[in-house]
Structure 1
Amino acid sequence: MTTDTVRYEGEGEEPLGGYALLAGTFTAGVAVFAAVARRRGVRLPRTVPPWDVALMGAAAYKGSRLLTRDKVTGFVRAPFTRRESEDEASEVTDTPRGHGVRRAVGELVSCPFCTSAWLAGVLVCAYASAPRATRLVCGGLGALTVADWLQYAWTWTQQATEE
């Protein structure tokens, strides 16, 4: 057991040092953004309309699926994960490998829920400094989310008519 892993009673080892490094990186990134934005005079929006929240939510959802489950983005995950299976709609499931920071990164890049928090943070920072461009990117990812659901609806319809 390395110094950055801890075994909880009755559980496996957790790379707490790696988690701390990742959390520190996220926090430092937000702090750097805030300092640079303030220095450059970026004016934060007074409010964020609900539709922008929904758009950023759809974008964070789809972006996290693309990064954590898409075959084509496997090159990002490969140093930190191993392929577990291929799922429906050509999505893949990868599992973390290694120890310490490598395992912590593997858990981040293989977990859509974890990755969506990071993407939401990036989108919020982007929205604060370039809302129009961020809406455009989020709109594209939102359109992919709608397209996915339409693909599933088509598949379900076909399967229902074949039964």
Structure 2
Amino acid sequence: MTESLRTRLSRVGQSYAPHDHRPLGGYVAAMGSFTALAASLATAAKVTGKPAPERPATADVVLLSLATHKLSRLIAKDSVTSPLRAPFMRYTEPAGAAELNEEVRDHDSTLKHGVGELISCPFCLAVWVAAGLTGGLVLAPRLTRLVATALTATAVSDFLQLAYDAAKKAAEGD
């Protein structure tokens, strides 16, 4: 009888991290989904005849970097996007600057647990967001640059707000 993939991953996960639950099945699903996303973007570029640039412009790299940072944090940490994370996460406390601290819910499903870890981690999401924005830059460059510009302006504004607050506290002697 053939051992199921789920059973095999569970057994490997137990030997991999005997004292900590690691949702390897969820991670496998996430890697498969990311591969499907990348393949879909490459296929769409080929079908539409829109080639990837030989060398991305430095301005686009900077724009997409800042936009990736902002969109990743917006999805993973922002109060307003908490309804997207709620099925997978549990609120624990405010984290300041309109962000939340949350923990992954206890799930019977390694897929739900893996999704929870993915959508609550701005570092993990950055890979997905960067892939989407980079694909958008090939497939719909004007729209992607416009969206990335708005996200970049918001990210720069966030840093300026924090710098203003720090300068204000320093001036008041706090």
Q: Which stretch shifts more, 40-49 or 53-62?
A: 40-49
Q: Deviations along 1:134-158, whole A, 9 cap, x unmatched?
A: 1111111000011001100110011
Give the match's secondary structure for 1:39.
helix
1:101 counterpart letter in structure 2:
L
Counterpart CA distance in 2 for 1:22 and 1:153 is: 36
Matched-pair identity in %: 39
Q: Deviations over 1:112-136 (max 9, x none)?
A: 1001110001001101111122111
Q: Where does 1:136-151 land on structure 2 (aligned, <5 Å)?
A: 136-151=146-161
Contact 2:89 2:116 (C-alpha < 8 Å) held by counterparts = yes
Per the alignment, residue 116 of structure 1 pairs with 126
Q: Do the aligned partners of residues 107 and 43 (structure 1) sit closer, same or farther apart at CA in structure 2, a change above 3 Å counting?
A: same
Which runs of structure 2 are paired with 1:4-43 in the superposition (5 Å)?
4-5=9-10, 6-7=13-14, 8-9=16-17, 11-43=19-51
Give the TM-score, by structure 1 length. Answer: 0.93
- Per the alignment, in what secondary structure is the counterpart of residue 103 of structure 2? strand
Secondary structure of 2:36 counterpart: helix
Letter in structure 1 aligned against 2:94: E
**Distance in structure 1 (CA, Å) of the matches to 2:47 and 2:96:** 47
* RMSD across aligned positions (CA): 1.4
Segments of 5+ residues of structure 2 without an aligned counterpart are: 1-5
Distance 2:19 2:123 in 1: 22
Q: 2:65 aligns with which of 52, 57, 61?
A: 57
Are 1:127 and 2:130 matched, yes or no?
no
**Displacement of 1:45 after TM fit?**
1.7
Cα offset, 1:96, TM superposition: 1.2
Q: Give, as a single letter, the amino acid of the residue that structure 2 aligns with 1:23.
A: M
**Contact 2:63/2:152, CA 8 A, preserved across alignment:** yes
Distance in 2, Cα, partners of 1:94 & 1:23: 23
**Deviation at residue 90 of structure 1 after TM alignment:** 2.1
CA distance in 2, matches of 1:129, 1:36: 8
- SS of residue paired to 2:102: strand
What is the rounded CA distance, in whole Å, between the counterparts of 1:9 and 1:114 in structure 2?
20
- Aligned equivalents of 2:97, 2:133: Cα separation in 1: 26
Q: Secondary structure at the match of 2:97?
A: helix
Q: Give the match's secondary structure for 2:92.
A: strand
Give TM-score scaled by structure 2 length: 0.88
- Residue matched to 2:3: none
